[in-house]
Structure 1
Amino acid sequence: MTARPLLRRLKGLGGVSRFVGAGLLDQVVIAAANSANTLLGGIVLPPARFGELALALAVGYFAMYLNRAIVGDVLLALASRYDGEPRIRLARNGLTTALCSGLVTTVVFVLIWAFWPYSGDLDLDELIWLAPFMVPIMLHDTARCDYLADRRPNKALGIDLVWAGAQAVLVVVMIATHSSSPGGFLAVWGLGGTAGALVYLTRERRLPWAGSPRAWLSETRHLSSWFTVTAIVAQVQVLAISVVVAGRLSKIELGQLRFVQTVQLSPIQNLITAITSLLVPRASRHAAAAAAPGPEGAEAAVALRRQTRMLAIAFAVLGSLMVLIVWPVVSFVLVHTHKFAGAAPLALPIALQGAVYLLQVPFTAAMRGMHRARMLFVQYVVFAVVSIGGLTTGASWGGLHGAAWGLLTGSTAGLICMVVLYVYALKWVGPPAGAAATVAPAAPKPSGAPV
């Protein structure tokens, strides 16, 4: 190899490294912004008050991730296939759809605050602190996905640094003035999102009301409808965990579960979100190219299979190492704390759950890239049903410890279902892997191919 091609290749690898590094760092920053409330709230607030914060955040995340399914996930899977005006149009219409989503959520939160009974273990009056900030939170989340779909993770990192920085300053002020409260943690989270959204709108010169939600839903309904119902199932499952634990056990035990999940599982979930956000656009381009006839289509189909296979091996190794290292460390630390010593037995099942989630990443990214939204919905229904059933049974049998093992059962069932559906979906992606070198025109797509 001559010097010039070698330099070009090294330059290309450097660009890929910067792209991946910016994407991972971006997720670290936004994860810190989202997790700081739970971590600091668990340390600063009394157990019962921390349970109120955890429940309000669960509802807030429910709304944010529902909007991500309607807008953000579709941008990653669909807009990443286009350049220029088509991509800009999708981003503009998606931003206005997020605006409408935030306004509806604000009204709902105000109604919950006004009419939900303020008694028992399911108080939701703290949601009023989130109501004013749901619009900018939705806009910021959509802005991140717009940048990631356009393969500009460095820009997403920029607005997330604004969010995290503003939130950090406000949290320090709140703690220094001894004014910490569930409402205060919720408000500073929302103010951080507001700062990040304003930077995006100013930098890109976007007006959030300039697009058309009707055009968005019309153009993306083949994905957004299934992504939305999948997100509803996913977030209902997350919210149901909080409700079941708080109702069947107590707010204190809900706080213990959420604290251990935040310390041990949230970093894994944030890594998964970062990797998925980087893999889905790439998988989507491979899947689109695989539909082309000739050697190019066959090569793209093989590339998609190879990417999934190699990543599955890598994440299996990473998950195993995580269980062997993180589980004993977290368990040791929890045992030697006063407030969360009773939660130490949760470390093992939650570590195993994180390993299962890691192993599922390559298959999820490939399915999203192939636009198999209906299959993703089926997988999540299986996961949610088994998880809630396992949680309820485990809580009745072994309290909070049994509930954690029940959640692990649901995660394992979800992984098995995802792998089976992925193997089935490969039937409609190019020629068989072994025929890539000899196939001429690609075979027509079967009329019964799944969505």
Structure 2
Amino acid sequence: MRRLQGLRGASRFVGAGLLDQVAIAAANSANTLLGGILLSKARFGALVLALAVGYFAMYLNRAIVGDVLLALASRYDGEHRARLARNGLATALCSGVVTTAVFVVLWAAWPSRDEIDLRELIWLAPFMVPIMLHDTARCDYLADRRPGKALGIDLVWVGTQAVVVAVMVATHSSSAGGLLTAWGVGATAGVTVYLLRERRLPWQGSPRAWLAETRHLSGWFTITAVVAQVHVLAISFTVAGRLSKIDLGNFRFVQTVQLQPVQNLVTAITSLVVPRASRHAAEAAEPGPDGAAAAATLRRQTRQLAIAFAVLGALMVLIVWPVVSYALVHTRKFAEAAPLALPIALQGAIYLVQVPFTAAMRGMHQARMLFLQYVVFAVVSLSGLTLGATWGGLYGAAWGLLTGSAAGLICMMLLYAHTSRWLGPPAATPTPARVDAAQNA
């Protein structure tokens, strides 16, 4: 009976976590999806560039605060975890204020060019504080193993954003600025609910204390996020600069329809698995059979998830690729982008297979290894993008990015295999035989 209740509880936990990611994904992807539908291709390209810069700032803040909450705060309970949450919110507040100032300067100083257009960035500037606070709030809930609460504030975001967009469409006033404003207003509503519910004020914490306590993780997570987001920005600017804004719009629209759901699933599973992996990794360091058993559990979890996601990725390529290709061919606006469906489907499958290894490495606090993997991925990916765009235009660029994703997966698997050899208590780490012996004791 207890086992059945545990399974039901785990199912509710996973279900709430997945629904939460669906909600936050709807809020984020709505910008690109609705922009592709409602705006001209030229204005849509400008929206994509502004979003690329906005996501750069948001994910950089997540590396400094959100990812650390998931990997570190999940190991603690009570006042220790609450203190980490308070200090994380204060750090996110400072990040938002700095980002707002930077966006205003960029908007004012960036030269006007036909292809690289950042005029829409000013619409994001007033909302970067609530966007970063909301992202930190949902990571706080996930680290505390309360995905239902995270789902609640994300539904507030989505609902508020939907109302603003509906008003804009009904009044025939669709614009890139309007879509960005709707996104920011939704984040403001969501984080307001969180702050009132938890009775917290963002300025009650200490950014200095946060950085002092988490520097062993936040430093490497931040460097990795900088590389990751520079990589994303470089893709957008390279496609827009070497090809055109229209090519960028085609590329991002297919990614939104086909790759964005996969990335959302990856984020959801990572957010759920990392706290669990972190606890197993912490227990694995304890001496005795319990530590060896925890290490074996983490290895087994990683292996089983990798097999499951490999099967899921193969099914996705076989099913989603022809469906998306067929749908694009029968649209007027994006018919020329149909050949992108196959390389982007393969890229999504690779991302799925990589999830368990990334989650295990985060749980083991192997931040340096994660940084090394992303450097390899970014270098190969951008090289493939540039060469592919030169030789084969937009379609060559897509296949070049796929090459980088494959290199990143191989590198991650090799780093995990190397790191997991030393997982477990000191007496159990030299050989796998000792781990097995301790487990069977």
1:241-256 equivalence runs, <5 A: 241-256=235-250
Equivalent of 2:98 in 104, 129, 132: 104
> Deviation of residue 117 (structure 1)?
1.1
CA distance in 1, matches of 2:433, 2:229: 40
TM normalised by structure 2 equals 0.98
- For the 8 Å contact 1:302–1:433, the answer to whether it is kept is no
In 2: Cα distance, 1:434 partner to 1:73 partner: 34
| 2:435 alignment counterpart | 436
Structure 1: any 5+ residue segments left out of the alignment? 1-6, 441-451
Matches within 5 A, 1:13-24: 13-24=7-18
Question: What is the match of residue 127 of structure 2?
Answer: 133
2:373 is matched with 379
- AA paired with 1:274? A
1:223 maps to 2:217: yes
Q: Is the 8 A contact 1:23 1:274 kept in 2?
A: yes
Q: In the alignment, what sits opposite 1:3? A: none
Please say if 1:267 is aligned against 2:261: yes
In the alignment, structure 1 residue 163 sits paired with structure 2 residue 157: yes
The one-character-per-residue Cα deviations of 1:183-202 (angstroms, maximum 9, x if unpaired) are 11011000000000100000
**Amino acid aligned to 2:126:** P
TM-score (norm 1): 0.95
Distance 2:185 2:367 in 1: 33
Q: 1:148 aligns with which of 136, 142, 147?
A: 142
Separation in 2 of the partners of 1:361 and 1:76? 15
Does the 8 Å CA contact 1:323/1:351 hold for their aligned counterparts? yes
CA distance in 2, matches of 1:292, 1:285: 11
Matched residue, 1:444: none
Letter in 1 for 2:287: P
CA-atom RMSD, angstroms? 0.8
For each residue in 1:195-240, what CA deviation from the matched residue of structure 2 results, as whole angstroms up to 9, or x when unmatched?
0010000000001000000000000000000000000000000000
Task: Say whether residues 1:239 and 2:233 are aligned partners.
Answer: yes
State the shift of 1:10 in Å.
Answer: 0.5
Q: Is the 8 A contact 1:350 1:408 kept in 2?
A: yes
Whether the aligned pair in 2 keeps the contact of 1:166 and 1:192 (CA below 8 Å) is: yes
Q: 1:65-98 CA distances to partner (integer Å, 9 max, x unpaired)?
A: 0000000000000000000010000000000000
Displacement of 1:24 after TM fit? 0.2
The alpha-carbon deviation at position 125 of structure 1 amounts to 1.3
Find the counterpart in structure 2 of residue 311 from structure 1: 305
Q: Which of 64, 78, 97 is 1:70 aligned to?
A: 64
**Conserved in 2, the CA contact under 8 Å of 1:265 and 1:350?**
yes
In the alignment, the residues of structure 1 paired with residue 15 and residue 252 of structure 2 have an alpha-carbon distance, to the nearest angstrom, of 29
Give the aligned partner of residue 445 of structure 1: none
Aligned twin of 1:333: 327
- SS of the aligned residue for 1:438 comes to helix
What pairs with 1:115-130 in structure 2 (closer than 5 Å)?
Answer: 115-130=109-124
**1:301–1:433 Cα contact (<8 Å) kept:** no
Q: Distance in 2 between matches of 1:15 and 1:151?
A: 12
- Looking at structure 2, the residues matched to 14 and 434 of structure 1 have their Cα atoms a distance apart, in angstroms, of 35
The alignment partner of 1:436 has SS state of: helix
1:395 maps to 2:389: yes
Q: Quick one: distance in 1 between partners of 2:23 and 2:175?
A: 23
Q: For residues 200 and 277 of structure 2, what CA distance do their matches in structure 1 show?
A: 28
Equivalent position of 1:28 in the other structure: 22
Give the match's secondary structure for 1:239: helix
Check conservation: 1:171, 1:188, Cα contact below 8 A.
yes
Q: CA deviation at 1:108?
A: 0.2
Structure-2 separation of matches of 1:211 and 1:113: 31
Shift of 1:434: 4.3
Partners of 2:76 and 2:255 in 1: CA distance: 37
Distance 2:384 2:66 in 1: 30
What's the counterpart of residue 424 of structure 1?
Answer: 418
The equivalences for 1:78-89 within 5 A come to 78-89=72-83
- Among 40, 46, 49, the alignment partner of 1:52 is 46
Q: What letter matches 1:435 in structure 2?
A: R
Take 2:251 and 2:168, find their aligned partners in 1: how far apart are those partners? 25
- The correspondence for 2:206, drawn from 212, 215, 219, is 212
- Alignment partner, residue 2 of structure 2: 8
Q: 2:197 corresponds to which residue?
A: 203
Shift of 1:437: 4.8
CA contact (8 A) 1:103 1:134 kept: yes
CA displacement, residues 365-395 of structure 1 (integer Å, 9 cap, x when unaligned): 0000000000000000000011110000000
How far apart, in 2, do the equivalents of 1:128 and 1:140 lie? Answer: 20
Q: Distance in 2 between matches of 1:73 and 1:396?
A: 36
Partner of 2:398: 404
5+ residue gaps, structure 2:
none
SS at match of 2:113: coil
Letter in 2 for 1:97: T
The runs of 4+ residues in structure 1 deviating greater than 2 Å are 431-440
Quote how far apart the aligned CAs of 1:146 are. 0.2
1:426 to partner: Cα distance: 1.0
Distance (whole Å) between structure 1 residues aligned to residue 267 and residue 134 of structure 2 = 16
Separation in structure 2 between the aligned mates of residue 434 and residue 309 of structure 1, nearest angstrom: 18
- The one-letter code sitting in structure 2 at the alignment partner of 1:436 is V
1:161-196 Cα deviation digits (max 9, x unpaired): 000000001101101111011111011000000000
SS in 2 for 1:187: helix
